[in-house]
Amino acid sequence: MATIRDVAKLAGVSVATISRYLNKSGYVNVETEQKIKKAIEALNYEPNAVARGLAGKKTNTIALILPDISNPFFPELARAVEDVASMYGYTVILCNSDDEGVKEKSYIEVLKKKYIDGIIFASNTLDSADVEQMTKKGIPVVCLDRVPPKQSCSVVRSKNREGAKLAVEHLLSMGCRKIAHIYGPQEFITAKERLAGYEEAVMHLDWYSPTFMIQGDFRIEGGIRATELLMERHPDVDAIFAGNDLMAVGTLKALHRMGVQVPGQVAVCGFDGIGMTEITQPELTTVAQPIYEMGALVSRILIKKIEGTLEADQTYELDVALVPRESTLRRNGHESS
Amino acid sequence: MATIRDVAKLAGVSVATISRYLNKSGYVNVETEQKIKKAIEALNYEPNAVARGLAGKKTNTIALILPDISNPFFPELARAVEDVASMYGYTVILCNSDDEGVKEKSYIEVLKKKYIDGIIFASNTLDSADVEQMTKKGIPVVCLDRVPPKQSCSVVRSKNREGAKLAVEHLLSMGCRKIAHIYGPQEFITAKERLAGYEEAVMHLDWYSPTFMIQGDFRIEGGIRATELLMERHPDVDAIFAGNDLMAVGTLKALHRMGVQVPGQVAVCGFDGIGMTEITQPELTTVAQPIYEMGALVSRILIKKIEGTLEADQTYELDVALVPRESTLRRNGHESS
DNA sequence: AATCAATATGTAACCGGTACCACATGACAG
DNA sequence: CTGTCATGTGGTACCGGTTACATATTGATT
């Protein structure tokens, strides 16, 4: 591989001039420019990114730290992040944290040593002190689904509370009268907010009782178990709103095993809008987050932050949308109202 | 951040000694070692990975080039690759090629400039000349699902042909007598081999006809369309073997829309063993590839190759396993025989 | 006593860029 | 005629490591 000095020699100028030409920093005469162009062509020269990284402390690399890429929520997000990143000339390092603080921290150590330009956190263990420390050390950070922090860190999230209300309203409008909720682990702010939204929407209704709320684990298995427990406790429910799609899939499975008709006897609604919801039988009604958009946005914000064109850190709350499908389609409902 | 020279100064030795100590290359006296340890501790020194990369042309970074991380086959693979990589101290760069040669090539250019240590290809457009060129330039490459090449490149694949036969045999043993096959795009060697395996397994049967083979696109939509066409052409089929799970899901959807019972009237079998197969209704019988193991293996091979401990390039053909589920469960079948 | 290998450490070039600073030239204002 | 500014270019220190080579000490071998 040719180096900048080879090019300089061949073009008959100094390395400084080549560097100026490459980075469009400083003056370069048009004729000189031509000579340089030719030399670069002739030598098939490509600037070395590592050397650039060392000299400039900028590597055009960002990291995406998420709990687990095999969780169906994240591939689409990762895809969006990578699409935007590559559009802006950045490369993406993928890190699976399993939501374990230790792993996160150790990734951060490695990434710092690699002069990573910035980090996207879609993982949940980091607290705001950690984040602040990062930004203080000059590493831009943007977070997903986190509570809006005071300090320097943008956050992208979606309207979980509103989404939950949307779900409840939809179920009510479909004629459901006893709507249960399977909530996710309360360490996750998303789970907390969805639960809050549910409670807010149902607490004034006459049938309301805390026993309609039951804990799940945001996974299929947890959805199954929670549904079993729930149906035992409340054989009278006619709708289940699960805190995420995976648990809703579990609910569907459990109800099917019990011989309960969906949506005939019990309507089911999920949350997230992952692809799986379109392949269940019946297809799953869900409160869809704009997953791709979230990834694209978070990634654009990070890059802006890296390049210093971000005015101020902000929290972006994206709209969610109810996607009505078979699993809540009840003839006795009336979608108006 | 402290540098190696700071440490050297504080420990009262030269940078060379520090470097030797850090890399366990060359001699370092035990007492000196202690002094260095203390100095490193005191300064909270961490070697700079970029500088190391520049000096040693080794970055402890590998790239994973795949068509699309949001295709359900790849997240598990990516997870495995990242798990193994991080276990060995490597970091993974994720690249989505969309199976477009141009994107692949442009990623490769970027990655070379970044002194990436090696590449895993799970994408399909690169031909063996490209691969050879890579290895010639000193970049280790390992491929997934590719035809075994003569030259220096290990390949991990699974027994597609055998898997297809397994599927057909299973369907026959379940009492099916007219088994159709929806095959994937023939640019993909996997699709080709599965088709070949199917043909081999059924061509001697009396009902055999090429009209039982129909093209899909390896996606849900293609599975739906192919199934519609097929059922119109052959209302008499009692089993459909789809070339991958996504198409099988499409088949399930299409049959459900037509009111065809699965497995009662038509049994359905997929290929790949992605998570989705467990959440369809009925659950999908599939020929499962050991996806995680493939990722782990390919990643281990690459790292061995990078570290020079790989004896010779090889092709690894992994076993597939038929996972019988509801979608092929026919009472009139006899799983023995 | 001379020779040699093993141990231990330092010097400095090198990896391939960036960027600060100095310097040169020509035009134009005062 | 001098000062200033825009344009254009080169020299070189620096980023933070690695490593080839030189040098020194020590103990064992012959």
Can you give the pLDDT at residue B141? 94
What is the band of A18 on the pLDDT scale with cuts at 50, 70, 90? very high
Amino acid identity of residue A188, one-letter, is F
Q: Which helix (H) or strand (E) holds A2?
A: none
Angstrom distance, A183 CA to D24 C1': 72
Check pLDDT > 50 for residue A335.
Answer: no
Give chain A's mean pLDDT. 94
Mean pLDDT of all residues in A247-269 = 96
Sheet order of strands, B321-323 included = B213-215, B179-183, B239-242, B267-272, B285-288, B321-323
A/B interface, count of CB pairs below 8 Å? 132
Q: What is chain B's length?
A: 337
Query: A239-242 and B285-288 as β-strands: parallel, antiparallel, unpaired?
Result: unpaired
Q: Percentage of chain B with pLDDT > 70?
A: 97
Minimum mean pLDDT range among B91-100, B109-118, B135-144: B135-144
Contact A241, A269 (CB under 8 A): yes
Residue B159 token pair: 């027994």
Residue in B68, B95, B256 nearest the CB of A281: B256
CA distance B270 to chain A (A): 14
**Is there a contact between A72 and B109 if contact means CB atoms under 8 Å apart?**
no
CA-to-CA separations, A232 to A52, A254, A255, B276, in angstroms, rounded: 64, 12, 12, 28
Give chain B's mean pLDDT. 94
Check pLDDT > 70 for residue B336.
Answer: no
Angle at the Cα of B297 (from B293 to B300), degrees rounded to 5? Answer: 140
Q: Is the CB of A48 under 7 A from strand D?
A: no
SS3 B105: helix
Architecture, CATH, for domain B160-290+322-328: 3-Layer(aba) Sandwich (3.40)
Judging contacts by C-beta atoms under 8 Å, the chain A residues touching residue B92 are 93-94
Mean pLDDT of all residues in B75-79 = 98
Q: What is the pLDDT of residues B98-108, one digit of tens each?
A: 999 999 999 99
Can you give the pLDDT at residue B332? 63
Higher pLDDT, B152 or B129: B129
> What are the structural domain ranges in chain B?
4-47, 58-158+291-319, 160-290+322-328
What is the band of A336 on the pLDDT scale with cuts at 50, 70, 90? very low
Distance (Å, whole) CA A64 – CA A302: 11
Interface of B with A in 74-93 (CB under 8 A): 74-76, 78-79, 82-83, 86, 91-93
Higher pLDDT, B29 or B132: B29
Higher pLDDT, A196 or A136: A196
Sheet order of strands, A321-323 included = A213-215, A179-183, A239-242, A267-272, A285-288, A321-323
Q: Percentage of chain B with pLDDT > 90?
A: 88
Query: B285-288 and B321-323 as β-strands: parallel, antiparallel, unpaired?
Result: antiparallel
Which residues have C-beta within 8 Å of that of residue B70, sequence separation ≥ 6?
A75, A76, A78, A79, A275
Query: B141-144 and A179-183 as β-strands: parallel, antiparallel, unpaired?
Result: unpaired
Mean pLDDT of all residues in A243-255 = 98
Q: What is the pLDDT of residues A26-76, one digit of tens each?
A: 999 999 999 999 999 999 999 999 999 999 999 999 999 999 999 999 999
Tell me: domain A58-158+291-319, CATH 3.65.10.10, correct?
Answer: no
Distance (Å, whole) CA A79 – CA A85: 10
B112: alpha, beta or left, given left = phi > 0 and alpha = psi -120 to 50?
Answer: alpha
Check pLDDT > 80 for residue B334.
Answer: no
Report how far apart the first and last C-alpha atoms of chain B are (Å, whole number): 70
If one counts every other C-beta atom within 10 angstroms of the C-beta of residue B337, the result is: 7
Residue B49: phi and psi, rounded to 5, are -65, -30
Q: What is the pLDDT of residues B211-249, one digit of tens each?
A: 999 999 999 999 999 999 999 999 999 999 999 999 999
Residue B243 token pair: 């070339």
Distance (Å, whole) CA B168 – CA B287: 10
Distance (Å, whole) CA A225 – CA A216: 8
Angle at the Cα of A123 (from A122 to A124), degrees rounded to 5? Answer: 125
Amino acid identity of residue B290, one-letter, is P
| Helices first, then strands: H and E counts in chain B | 12, 12
Contact A195, A243 (CB under 8 A): yes
**Are A4-47 and A58-158+291-319 in the same CATH fold?**
no
Angstrom distance, A88 CA to D9 C1': 32
Instruction: Assess whether the previous peptide bond of B263 is cis (omega < 30° from 0).
Output: yes
**Is there a contact between A68 and B79 if contact means CB atoms under 8 Å apart?**
yes
Mean pLDDT of all residues in B141-163 = 88
Q: What is the pLDDT of residues A275-289, one digit of tens each?
A: 999 999 999 999 999
Strands of A189-266 (E only): list them. Answer: 213-215, 239-242
Distance (Å, whole) CA A250 – CA B217: 29
Can you give the pLDDT at residue B337? 39
Angstrom distance, A24 CA to C19 C1': 13
CA distance B275 to chain A (A): 9
Amino acid identity of residue B99, one-letter, is D
- Residues of B (17-36) placing their beta carbon closer than 7 angstroms to any atom of strand C are 17, 20, 26-32
Judging contacts by C-beta atoms under 8 Å, the chain A residues touching residue B252 are 279, 281
Distance (Å, whole) CA B31 – CA A235: 74
Mean pLDDT of all residues in B19-41 = 95
In CATH terms, the superfamily for domain A4-47 is lambda repressor-like DNA-binding domains (1.10.260.40)
Q: Is the CB of B49 under 7 A from strand C?
A: no
Task: Give nearest nucleotide to A1 (CA–C1').
Answer: C16
Can you give the pLDDT at residue A270? 98
Q: Report the DSSP beta bridge partners of residue B242.
A: B182
Can you give the pLDDT at residue B335? 47
Q: Is the CB of B52 under 7 A from strand D?
A: yes
Distance (Å, whole) CA A152 – CA A307: 15
Question: Closest residue of A to B57, CA-based?
Answer: A50
**Is there a contact between A79 and B69 if contact means CB atoms under 8 Å apart?**
yes
